[in-house]
Amino acid sequence: MINVTKTFLPPLEEYQTILKRAWDTGWMTNRGVLVKELETQLKSYLGVSHIIAMTNGTLPLQIAIKALNLKGEIITTPFSYVATTSSIVWEGCTPVFVDIHPEYLTIDETKIEAAITPNTSAILATHVFGNPCAIDAIELIAKKHNLKVIYDAAHCFGVTYKGQSVFNYGDVSTCSFHSTKLFHTGEGGALFCNDEDLLNALFYHHNFGHDGPLDFHGLGINAKISELQGAMGLAVLPYMKTILDARKKVVDYYLEAFINNYQIQLLKLRADIHWNYSYFPVMFKNETILLKVEQALKNNQINARRYFYPSLNTLPYVTSKDMKVSQSVASRILCLPLYVGLSKTDLKRIVQLIMDQIL
């Protein structure tokens, strides 16, 4: 079976050696030495000043909305994982969708201002498949209208824009360390913020609101990452070059196969970025062709993924008008298998099966 992704697992003995340090102290959670060490190493690797590691990639979004005291409407993208929209609704705000760019697949910055109302408090945009939004334009819009900016950067581990970590942009950026991501802690995530006062609020929100063992700053939730997760991150991080090099080879193979094929549209990457080879999406002419390709792959024990699907403006718990570009893309986009260890033989089979269906 070839799945759309496969978790990179470091040598078990290396994980066990790191984990033994927690075993020896008996300290399994509440920001033990492994979590703190992981945060330090990640700051160095990513080129960021501040990071709060968390137990998954969704809670950072919810905590960011809470800490920024956002109310009313939040402008967001319909083309993202469901957590982007559900976090807004969960925190009692209203998602206002703005359609996406047909090539970059990120929120269309030229349509944002038309969606701003007196009730708008923020923009929550997603860097799609590691491809950043139009960061400079969004920053100008936010400053002009006094709006906060949160970036859902779940796919962006290691991505840079203009030589800076993409996590350094916006009021808050978040990332996922889920096991399907190129860097992972099994289950996990992180939150990034350069404002010291806001960072402090984000920190106590993720730890029940604690100010020391007995006092409280205010309202909080439990989003702490465990030492078991920290150990996995410390075991995976040294292999990032191996992971990135292997994924680049897969991406390069797909690019060579599809780049000049008029039947397939590929993701357009923005200028001034260093990408991380996080996903390889292909867009077909229509959903009928997609379904035909998907079934042919499944018949050969190959699982690609309709990601992202459906367009989030069609969720049952939101009210929205049609988002023509997002709905079109969501109906015909497929992410192909991409992971360390995917052989050229398998890649050749995947490409041939796709070609057989579209020619």
| pLDDT tens string 90-127 | 999 999 999 999 999 999 999 999 999 999 999 999 99
Cα–Cα distance between 196 and 219 in angstroms, integer?
19
Contact 347, 249 (CB under 8 A): no
Q: How far apart are CA 51 and CA 345, in angstroms?
A: 40
Does 4 reside within a domain? no
> Which residues of the chain are under the pLDDT cut of 70?
none
> Is 122 found in the same domain as 30?
yes
Q: Which long-range contacts (CB under 8 A, 24 or more apart) does 351-355 make?
A: 351/253, 351/254, 351/257, 351/258, 353/293, 353/296, 353/297, 353/300, 353/302, 354/264, 354/282, 354/293, 354/296, 354/297, 355/257
Rounded to whole angstroms, how far apart are CA atoms 80 and 352?
29
Give Cβ neighbours of residue 170 (< 8 Å, ≥ 6 apart): 135, 149, 150, 151
Q: Is the distance from CB of 298 to CB of 290 less than 8 angstroms?
A: no
In-domain check, residue 1: no
Separation in Å, CA 211 to CA 52, 84, 185, 201, 268: 16, 29, 27, 11, 46
Instruction: Write out the residue range of the structural domain in which residue 306 sits.
Output: 240-358
336 and 239 Cβ atoms separated by less than 8 Å: no
Question: Tokens representing 61?
Answer: 């979004």
Let me know whether 294 and 323 are in one domain.
yes
pLDDT at 211: 79
29, two tokens: 């959670």
- Residue 52 included in any domain: yes
Q: Could you tell me the CA-to-CA distances from 273 to 116, 182, 183 in Å, in that order?
A: 28, 18, 19
Look at residue 215 in the predicted model and tell me its pLDDT. Answer: 76
**Helix, strand, coil abundance in the chain, percent, nearest 5:** 40, 15, 40
> What is the CATH classification number for the domain harbouring 26?
3.40.640.10
* 153, 277: one domain: no
The confidence score (pLDDT) of residue 212 equals: 75
> Are 180 and 310 part of one and the same domain?
no
State whether 98 and 208 are in the same domain. yes
Q: Check whether residue 109 and residue 21 sit in a common domain.
A: yes
* pTM for this entry: 0.97
Vertex 273: Cα angle to 47 and 249 (nearest 5):
95
Alpha carbon distance 228, 186 (integer Å): 9
Same domain (yes/no): 110, 250? no
Q: CA-to-CA distance for 51 and 115, rounded, in angstroms? A: 32
Q: Residue 254 maps to which CATH number?
A: 3.90.1150.10
